[in-house]
Amino acid sequence: MWIGSSKQKNIKILEFSVTKDPIKILGTYLSHNPDKSINANFYIKIRKMSTKLNLWRARELTLYGKSLLAKTLGASQLIYTASMICVPDTVINNVQGHLFSFLWNNRKDKIKRKVMYQPLSEGGINFINFRTMVKSLRLAWIQRLLTNSYDAWKAIPNYFFNKYGGLAFLLKCNFDSAKLDKNLPLFYRELLDYFQELTNNSQYITNDLILWNNKNITVDKKSLFWKSWFDRGIYFIGDLLNSAGKFLTLDEFQKKFDFKVSYLNYFQLIAAIPQELKRKALVSPTPDLFSIPLEFQQLNDRTLLLPKMRCKHYYNMFIEKNNTEPTAIKSWKKLFPYFTDWKRSFKEIYESSRDNKLRQFSFKVLHRIIPTRKELKKYKLVTDDICSLCPYPDSIEHTFLHCTETVNFYMKTLSWFNNYHNTRIHLPHEHIVLNTFKDVFPPKLSNPLKRRLCLLILFQTKYLYTCKNLSKRPDLEEFLSKLHQQYRIENCGL
């Protein structure tokens, strides 16, 4: 394949064949024709991924199982290529669409995507966010580029980044990738874009008093980098100020740095420095360039050093940054205004049971996506919304809080538990439905009893819901025999 200015040529050299089709190098296709290479690199793989996922559709998998498959059978096929070349938006949307339609069985999403990407304790299921994965894979190059090895492949990125003083310097600057010169290849420009997105409002300290690559110090809307000045050790606004807080005259400047510069350049630079940055430079001491760290300060007092950050660090930071409260929590808060620690409610699911089907049920209740007759009527699947066990209108609240059958059953199971274990526990119903039951556990309750009670609470909500769907009155004996079976499965026996 001919490259550069000869890319249209068909001339043959010796016996080498010439092609204009994508050629495969180390598992990735390269071509001058973007459509052909995108098809070979991504769409063919997406089709394969879709077929593989389809094979699993018939099985009754939980959201957790499907999430795992989306990661292992789905996105993993694309990750290798996505770490090496730019991934167009259309491909990202296509992949994410396929994965979510697999998760929700080709139906509309029931929970916001942003929430599903979050960890379990934040109301999500760690569902793979392909867009964030692409960004994180790109940012993982920073670590490779910053290590002090002299690998041949670095010649190309270094050539480009050296136009801004090198990557290690650029990442200390208050840059805006849109204001850097246009000749940076898209792959690296995106890397800087993603980095900028991550550092926006985060605990990453860039130094806005550095003159170069500074988005606030521009000429013709472009930030500046003058290599010969940089090589002379001129880095900060403070380098241009005298002890009285005034800009050095051209003479003073030339003497200080023993460096001849043109009058025009010098005054162009001074004129580009905004007043407030000059004021800031006056009151802040000029640091030593090499002492400015390349690190993220995290909330838990941890520091992440850029030269050590891997893909997963960036991925988690992006997900944390986009943390969202699930929609259902707003509805629960309307009913229970004092309910604030909803993250604990989700966490409780996973601490109370190891059974993914039970976990999924509890997860769906908290997200309010369990259909009751109210929802069935709304979607015109039934003609009335009356509870199958009492004469009142059905809803999530009715099913788990107000229905007399439910309330009676809560009392029966709890009094069974108290009698059986010789305890005196009282459980307000909202603690049952919001998974905040541990709040009212007596402090002396032993751990095995805690586990048994937690599992009982989770298990009974599922049992009640099943009974209601079958229009069958809940029965304590039947329930207890099922519960004991569950205790055995989950190793909760005494």
Instruction: Write down the least CB distance from residue 199 to Zn ion, Å.
Output: 53
Instruction: Write down the least CB distance from residue 399 to Zn ion, Å.
Output: 7
Q: Compute the distance between CA of residue 306 and CA of residue 117 in angstroms, rounded to an integer.
A: 24
CA nearest neighbour of 370 among 388, 397, 336, 403? 397
Residue 177 or residue 399: which is nearer to Zn ion going by CB?
A: 399
Residue 408 or residue 415: which is nearer to Zn ion going by CB?
A: 408
Which residues contact residue 203 at a Cβ distance below 8 angstroms, ignoring those fewer than 6 apart? 296, 297, 298, 299
Residue 455 or residue 467: which is nearer to Zn ion going by CB?
A: 467
Instruction: Write down the least CB distance from residue 370 to Zn ion, Å.
Output: 15
The alpha carbon dihedral of 324, 328, 330, 332 has a sign of negative
Residue 433 or residue 449: which is nearer to Zn ion going by CB?
A: 433
CA nearest neighbour of 143 among 78, 214, 74, 191? 191
Instruction: Write down the least CB distance from residue 474 to Zn ion, Å.
Output: 11
SS3 content of the chain, % helix, strand, coil (to 5): 55, 5, 40
Residue ranges binding Zn ion (CB under 5 A)? 387, 389-390, 403
Place of tokens 């130094």: 207
Instruction: Write down the least CB distance from residue 308 to Zn ion, Å.
Output: 57
Contacts 24+ apart (CB under 8 A), 246-251: 247/278
Partner residues linked to 218 by β-bridges: 223
Place of tokens 């207890």: 480
Partner residues linked to 24 by β-bridges: 29
Rg (CA), the chain: 31
Instruction: Write down the least CB distance from residue 395 to Zn ion, Å.
Output: 10
Length of the chain: 494
Instruction: Write down the least CB distance from residue 479 to Zn ion, Å.
Output: 17
Partner residues linked to 164 by β-bridges: none
Residue 337 or residue 391: which is nearer to Zn ion going by CB?
A: 391
Q: Which two tokens stand for residue 125?
A: 């299921």
Residue 382 or residue 390: which is nearer to Zn ion going by CB?
A: 390
Instruction: Write down the least CB distance from residue 298 to Zn ion, Å.
Output: 48
Residue 223 or residue 395: which is nearer to Zn ion going by CB?
A: 395
Angle of CA points 6, 7, 8, to nearest 5°? 95
Residue 390 or residue 445: which is nearer to Zn ion going by CB?
A: 390
Residue 345 or residue 372: which is nearer to Zn ion going by CB?
A: 372
CA nearest neighbour of 308 among 183, 473, 143, 113? 143
Residue 54 or residue 408: which is nearer to Zn ion going by CB?
A: 408
Which residues contact residue 83 at a Cβ distance below 8 angstroms, ignoring those fewer than 6 apart? 137, 138, 140
Instruction: Write down the least CB distance from residue 481 to Zn ion, Å.
Output: 24
Residue 92 or residue 389: which is nearer to Zn ion going by CB?
A: 389
SS3 assignment, position 268: helix
Which residues contact residue 414 at a Cβ distance below 8 angstroms, ignoring those fewer than 6 apart? 425, 426, 427
Cα→Cα distances 446→60, 351, 442, 443, 484, Å: 36, 15, 9, 8, 19
Instruction: Write down the least CB distance from residue 385 to Zn ion, Å.
Output: 11
Instruction: Write down the least CB distance from residue 403 to Zn ion, Å.
Output: 3
Q: Which two tokens stand for residue 182?
A: 């246009």
